[in-house]
Amino acid sequence: MTLSDTAAIDLTENAKTAISTSDKFRAEQRNCKTLQALWTRARAGSIEDRIFDGLLYRQIEDNVNATRLYALVVPAVYCRQHLILAHDDKTGGHVG
CB 69 within 8 A of CB 62: yes
> In the chain, pLDDT over 90 holds for what percent of residues?
44
Q: What pLDDT is recorded for position 5? A: 46
In this predicted model, what pLDDT tens digit does every residue of 30-67 receive, in sequence order? 999 999 999 999 999 999 999 999 999 999 987 666 67
Q: Where are the domains of the chain?
A: 11-87
Spell out a b/e string for 10-23, using b for 16 or more CB atoms within 10 Å of the CB, else e: eeeeeeeeeeeeee
In this predicted model, what pLDDT tens digit does every residue of 64-77 receive, in sequence order? 666 788 999 999 99
